[in-house]
Amino acid sequence: MQKVGVISQARMTSTRLPGKVLRPVGGHPLLHYHVERLRQSGLPLYLATTTNATDELLAAFAGQYALPCTRGDENDVLGRYYQCAQEHDLDVIVRVTSDCPLLDGALVAQGVAEYLRQNDPRLYLSNVLERTFPRGFDFEIFSRELLTEAFQHATLPGDREHVTPYINQNRSGQVRFAHIRRPEVRKEYRLTVDTAEDFELIRILIEEYNAATLSADALIALLDAHPELVALNAHVEQKKV
């Protein structure tokens, strides 16, 4: 039986919206929703943050939520993932980011089931390379074998910061790819939090539409029905990797 773990990266020093993951929404910090929804996947969840003093707050959050926490270099997020996978003896890693408070645990579990069914340590499976879901539902699944290769061989700063480019650009030439897609493309929607406009949309969805209880499909249907909500952050450009 392979041990699968979800590792979420987080830090308080976001460039466009500092401290965003602990901003309060509906009586809870934003990170609360991310954690509780991912726990619905039934998979163990780990937090990978930095050794910066500013991230003592995240370490305290992890303690409050009984969330194992790995801390490392702010700029070497790849190193933090590798360290976390080693510490907890993970065979399969699900990479998510903490600025996605409405990420659907059931969707992640579906991806993991497909990954395990294919039974290939050279497989990289995600819903990000062929994007059909809104931003905010992103996940990537890969083996510790691939993670170790990336940790040992990736040297570019961008590779270390963004964790998976060495893998998903197939630098080794030995990675196989699979994709989780939905039939109706909604990649233009943003349910991730990078700016004040993103945050305002999430706040409205959680406080006024009970979004924290909705599935990915239900959230997408809600946005389909409310173009005025989509318009709140439609102009925001995603930061380039």
- Quick one: CA dihedral 107, 109, 111, 117, positive or negative? negative
Residues 45, 26: Cα–Cα separation, whole Å: 23
pTM for this predicted structure: 0.97
What CATH class is the domain 4-185?
A: alpha beta
Side chain identity, residue 123? L
pLDDT (average), residues 1-13: 96
Whether pLDDT at 241 is above 70:
no
Phi then psi for residue 235, to 5 deg, are -85, -10
User: How many angstroms from the chain centroid is the CA of residue 206?
Assistant: 19
Q: What's the whole-number mean pLDDT along residues 141-152?
A: 98
The whole-angstrom separation of Cα 186 and Cα 98 is 21
In this predicted structure, the answer to whether residue 240 has a pLDDT above a threshold of 80 is no
Q: For residues 84 and 48, is the Cβ–Cβ distance under 8 A?
A: yes
- 120 pLDDT band, cuts 50/70/90, is very high
Average pLDDT over residues 140-150: 98
Q: How confident is the model at residue 81 (pLDDT cuts 50, 70, 90)?
A: very high
For the chain, the domains span 4-185
176-218 tens-digit pLDDT: 999 999 999 999 999 999 999 999 999 999 999 999 999 999 9
Among the listed residues 172, 170, 166, 164, the one whose alpha carbon sits nearest the alpha carbon of residue 141 = 164
- Report pLDDT for 200: 98
The count of other CB atoms within 10 Å of the CB of residue 14 is 16
- Residue range 12-61, pLDDT digits in tens: 998 889 999 999 999 999 999 999 999 999 999 999 999 999 999 999 99
30-39 vs 105-118: helix crossing angle, rounded to 10: 40
* The pLDDT of residue 15: 82
